[in-house]
Structure formats: C-alpha cells, structure tokens
C-alpha cells in the first residue's frame, strides 16, 4: 500500500522533491559534476563536460583539471579545461 503524505503547504512539497535527488550511476558522471561545479561551467556546456568525462580516461581528466586550476587564472577556466583535455601529446 502506498502511504499518502499530507502536505500542509508548498514548502513541504518542495522539500520532499529536494530529498529525492538521484546519485550518479557511473563514476565519470560524478567526476563531470565535480568539474562543472569547480570550473563554473555554463549550462549550455554541461553536456560537453559529460562527454569528455565519458570518452577520456579518468586520470587524463583529473590531470587536465589540475592543470587548468594551476595554469588558468581567468574567469572562464572551463574554456581552458577543454583545450587541455583535447591536447593530445
């Protein structure tokens, strides 16, 4: 049987929705979310971060992230991150 909740106000409805966030299924998704947060990636470029995290090895992504944080001091670090990730030596 389903238990029905009695929501007395809208605050309770939004609070219940916040609690039900899903955790990332794959490790590369968690890494992508961390990069999006750290580098303040705009919403229209989020899918690109997920793609590079899925396509490249984890260590390459982590090294690129560390290089970006160390070398780039501008506001748009995410642009530099994509240049470093795609730089194949």
Residues 6+ apart with CB under 8 A from 64: 81, 84, 85
Per-residue pLDDT tens over the stretch 22-74: 666 889 999 999 999 999 999 999 999 999 999 999 999 999 999 999 998 88
pTM: 0.70
**For residues 87 and 59, what is the distance between their CA atoms, to the nearest angstrom?**
14
Among candidate residues 61, 58, 69, the one with its CA nearest the CA of residue 87: 61
Report the pLDDT value the prediction gives residue 70, as an integer from 0 to 100: 93
* The pLDDT value given to residue 17: 62
CA–CA distances in Å: residue 76 to residues 13, 55, 63: 36, 23, 18
> What's the confidence (pLDDT) of residue 33?
94
């Amino acid at each position: 049987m389903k238990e029905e909740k009695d929501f007395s106000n809208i605050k309770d409805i939004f609070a219940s929705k916040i609690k039900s966030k899903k955790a990332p299924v794959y490790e590369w998704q968690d890494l992508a979310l961390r990069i999006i947060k750290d580098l303040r990636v705009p919403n229209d470029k989020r899918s690109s971060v997920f793609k590079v995290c899925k396509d490249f090895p984890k260590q390459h992504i982590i090294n690129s992230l560390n290089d970006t944080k160390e070398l780039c001091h501008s506001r748009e670090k995410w642009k530099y991150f994509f240049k470093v990730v795609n730089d194949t030596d």
